[in-house]
Structure 1
Amino acid sequence: MTIDILEKATRDINNTPIVQQTAFWSEVKTHQGLETKAFDFKVKNRDIYTNVGGHSYTYADLLVLQKPLDSQYSIAYVPYGPEIEPSEEYQGRFLEELSEIMRSYLPKSCIAIRYDLNWQSHWCDESYFDESGLWTGPPDKKFQEFNLNYNTIEWNLRKSNSDILPSTTVFLDLSLSEEDMLMQMKPKTRYNIRLAEKKGVRVFQAGMDKISVWYKLYKETALRNGLFINDIEYFVSVLTARADDTSSPAHVELLIAEHEGEPLAAIFLVMSGHRGTYLYGASSSHKRNYMPAYALQWEAVKIAKANGCTEYDMFGVSPGPDRSHPMYGLYQFKTGFGGELFHHLGCWDYLLDEENYKYLQISEMNAQGYYLS
C-alpha cells in the first residue's frame, strides 16, 4: 500500500459533516492552546476497498491536534478521523502506512498517534446482539487488537483504555418531515415536547452576551453529575470561532430554554456540512418537570433541518440500556427521539515510541477524566 501525503494549511481542510475534522475545529483548538496540523493524502482505491480494481484514487485529508502529556512527551490526536473508512480487512494496514508517513511531520517528542475512529465497530453483526436486540459490546481488548493489526507489518496498534469522544451516538434522519420525525419518537418524548410548549417554555437563539447564563447552567449540571468543569473560555472559543473564510466553516448556535424569564436549560448546536451536532448541554434543577430539555432538542432539530442539514447527531449515549453506565440517563433521553444507534471503533493508538508509551498510559491513569468518579 502506498499513501501520498502532503501537509497543508488548516484553513484548506475539506468541508465535512464531522465537526471535529473541520477548519472551524482547528480554530477552536488553536484558541484553546493546542497546535494543529492538516494533511492531504491520496491512496489507490484497490488498496483500501475490497472488490475494487483499476487505478482510481481516493483523495482525502485529516486534522491532527498536538497534545502535550508533560514537558517531555506529546501525542498526535486525530478526532473522529480519518473520515474515509476502508474495508475492514484493510483498516489496520491503512492506519499503519498513514502513521509511518506522518511520523516525519510530527515532533520527536510525539510517542503515539491516537485515532479517535468514527468508523463503525467491527462487532455489530447479529452475533453481537442478544435475544432482545440489544448490543452486547465488543470482545476483549486483546481480540480487538488482533483483529485490527491483522495484515499490518509492525502490529503497533493498541486499543486505548478509554475513549475521548463518544463511541456510541444516535443519528436522526432530518430528511423526514417534522410530522414523520415526531411519529418516530417514543410517545413519552412527543408528550414532553408538547408539555413544554403547554407550560410556556420558550427557546431562543442567544449570543455572546448570554455566555454567562450558559456557564451558570453548565456548572450546576457538572456539579450535579460529578463532571469535570471546563473554564468559561473553553466555551467562548467554540461560540466565537467561525472560520468563515475557510473551506470548512461551521455555524454555531447557543440555544436557551426559559420560562417567564428564568433560564432552565441550554445547548450548543453546531452545523457543518449536512449534519447538525448537539455538542454540549446544561440544565437547571429547577422546573425540570417543565421539560425544557425536550423543547431545546426539538428546536435544535428544526433549526438544523431549516439550515439544510439532513442528519442530526445526538452525540454520546451509553452503548445500551445499562442502568449502571454513567451515560444511561442520556441513552434514555436521546433514544426517545427515535433515530439509529451507531457504535464507533473508538480510540486506537499507533505507537511511535513503544519504550515511552508508558507515559501516555500513566498520564491517563492520573487524568481527571470526564466523570470525577
Structure 2
Amino acid sequence: MDIRSKAMAALFPTDILFQTSYWAQVKARLGLAPRAFDIPAAGPGKDVLVLLKPFGKHNIAIVPQGPEHAPSEEEYGTFLEDFSVALAKTLGPEVAFIRYDLPWLSPYAAMMGNEGWDVFPEPRVRELRMNMGTRFWNIRKASEDMTVASSLVVDLVGSEEEMLGRMKPKTRYNIGLARRKGVSVQEADARGLPDFHALYRQTALRNGFSPCGPEHFSAMFQSLLSAPDRSDLLFLLARHGSDVLAGAIVGISGETANFLYGASSNTKRNMMASSLMHWTAMLMARERGCVRYDLGAVSPADTPDHPFHGLYRFKTGFGGRIEYRSGSWDYPLRQDVYDEYRNAELMHSAHERHALRPH
C-alpha cells in the first residue's frame, strides 16, 4: 500500500473530530507529534491523522478514531495489515507499535443488539477473526479501548417536541424538573475552566477514575484560535443560584457533536442539572449545523453487571441508538517494547478497578 505524507492543515473535512487538524493541534500542545497521510488505495479524499506518543526511547503511533475509511468487513484485517506495514516504513524504526481506535462497525454488532448480551467473544477469538487472510497474523486486540466501543448517538432531527417525544418519560420529566427548580444552563468560555475542573475532580473521585489535568482542557481552547478547519467547542455550565452543578465540553466537527467531558457536583443532585445540560447542548449543536449528538460510552445492552450500565440508563433516556464500533487494535513492531507497554497498561487497569471497589 502506498501512503503519502501531507501537511496537517491539508487534512480533509470529516465528522470525526479526532481525525481533524484541530485535534492534531490539541495533541501537539500536550506533547504528542502529529503526522498526516493520504491513503490513495482507499480512494480520493481518504487520509488519516497519526499521533506519535513517546514511550522511553521509542514511540507509539496512535490512530485516533481512524482510519475513517472502512473496507468491507471481510477485509478489515488485510487492510489494517497493509496499512500498518506502509506506516511502519514511513515512520521509521523508533515506532514500537501502532494502535488503532477503529470507528468501523463491529463485526459483532448484530449480537450486541440482543438484550442481556454484554460481552464480546474473548480477545483470542476476536484476533483470529481479525487476522483471517492476513500474511503475518500480527494484529492484536488492545487490552482496553482508547475511547469507546459502544456509543449512544442521538439524531438531532425533527422539531423540539419530536425530539423530546423520542426520549424516555423519566428523562423528559427530569429536564422539566431542572427548569422548575431554577437550574440555568449557559455557554461559557475558557474563563469558566477552573469551575469545570473543580467539578471534574469531584466526579473523578466519586467514580474512581484518574482525571485529566487542567492543561488538557486549556489546550482544547487554545487550539481553536489557530486551527485551520471549522472544528468548534460547546462549553456549558449548569448553575443553581451561585452553585455550579454540572458542566460539559462538546466537540463539533462537520455534522457531529461529541460529548467529550462531563462533570457534576456532589451536592444538589436532585436538581437533575445534567439532564437539562445535555438537552441544551443538543439544541445548541443543532443550531450549529449538527445532525448527530454522540453521548459516548454505554454498556452494549441493559445489563446491570456491566461497568457502564449506569451510563446506559442515563444516556438511553435521551432516545437515540447504540453504535457498536470495533474498538482498539494493536500492530506490534517491537514485541519486547509492546509487551512492556501492555503489562504497564494491565497494571494500571487493575489499580483503577481496585479503586472502584467499596472499601
Q: CA deviation at 1:96?
A: 0.7
Q: CA deviation at 1:12?
A: 1.4
Aligned to 2:237: 256
The alpha-carbon deviation at position 75 of structure 1 amounts to 1.3
Query: 50, 54, 57: which one pairs with 1:68?
Result: 54
1:102 aligns to what? 87
In 1, Cα distance between the equivalents of 2:57 and 2:258?
A: 35
Q: Displacement, 1:244?
A: 5.3
Percent identical pairs in the alignment equals 38
1:338 equivalent among 313, 319, 325:
319
Name the structure with the higher helix share: 2
Q: What amino acid maps onto 2:178 in structure 1? A: A
The question of 1:238 aligning with 2:220 is answered yes
Q: C-alpha displacement at 1:90, in angstroms?
A: 1.0
Residue in 2 that maps onto 1:352: 333
Whole-Å Cα distance in 2 between the matches of residues 311 and 280 of structure 1? 17
Residue type matched to 2:26 in 1?
Answer: V
1:34 pairs, out of 10, 32, 35, with 32
1:15 aligns with 2:16: no
1:173 paired residue number: 155
Cα 1:270–1:93 shift into 2, 3 Å: same
Structure 2: which 5+ runs fail to align?
none
Match of 1:120 among 95, 99, 105: 105
Q: Partners of 1:41 and 1:128 in 2: how far apart?
A: 31
Question: CA, structure 1 residues 283+128, in 2 after alignment: closer, same or farther (shift >3 Å)?
Answer: closer
Partner of 2:82, secondary structure, is: helix
d(CA) in 2 for partners of 1:370, 1:85: 33
Q: Which moved more, 1:33-42 or 1:105-114?
A: 105-114
- Aligned-partner Cα distance in 2 for 1:243–1:152: 43
- Counterpart amino acid of residue 49 in structure 2: L
Contact 2:97 2:332 in 1 (8 A): yes
Aligned residue runs from structure 1 range 279-294, under 5 A: 279-294=260-275
CA positional deviation for 1:128: 5.2
Cα deviation, residue 365, structure 1? 2.4
Corresponding position of 1:325: 306
Number of residue pairs aligned between Structure 1 and Structure 2: 354
Residue 24 (structure 1) aligned to one of 22, 25, 41: 22
Q: Would the alpha carbon gap of residues 256 and 108 (structure 1) be closer, same or farther in structure 2, given more than 3 Å must change?
A: same
Secondary structure, in 3 states, of the residue corresponding to 2:143? coil
Alignment correspondent of 1:138: 120
TM-score, scaled relative to structure 1: 0.90
Shift of the alpha carbon at 1:260? 1.2
Partner of 1:53: none
Q: What is the distance in 2 between the residues matched to 1:237 and 1:107?
A: 28
Counterpart contact for 1:22–1:249, Cα < 8 Å: no
Amino acid at match of 1:158: R
Cα distance change of structure 1 residues 43 and 59 upon mapping to structure 2, 3 Å threshold: farther
Q: What does the per-residue CA deviation read over 1:132-151, in whole Å, with 9 as the maximum and x for residues that have no partner? A: x3444321212111111111
User: Per the alignment, do residues 243 and 24 of structure 1 end up closer, same or farther by CA in structure 2, a change over 3 Å counting?
Assistant: farther
**Superposition RMSD in Å:** 1.7
Structure 1, unmatched stretches of 5+, are 45-56
- Report the Cα distance in structure 2 between the residues aligned to 1:370 and 1:265, rounded to whole angstroms: 24
Q: Cα offset for 1:243?
A: 6.0
Deviations 1:152-172 (A, max 9, x none): 111110111111111111111
Change (3 A) 1:129 1:270: closer
- TM-superposition CA deviations, 1:62-109 (whole Å, max 9, x none): 11111122x223211101100011101111111111111111222422
Taking structure 1 as reference, are residues 24 and 129 closer, same or farther at Cα in structure 2, changes over 3 Å only?
A: closer
Using the TM superposition, give the Cα deviation of residue 245 of structure 1 relative to its aligned residue in structure 2, in angstroms: 5.0
CA deviation string 1:320-345 (max 9, x = no partner) = 22323332211111010000011111
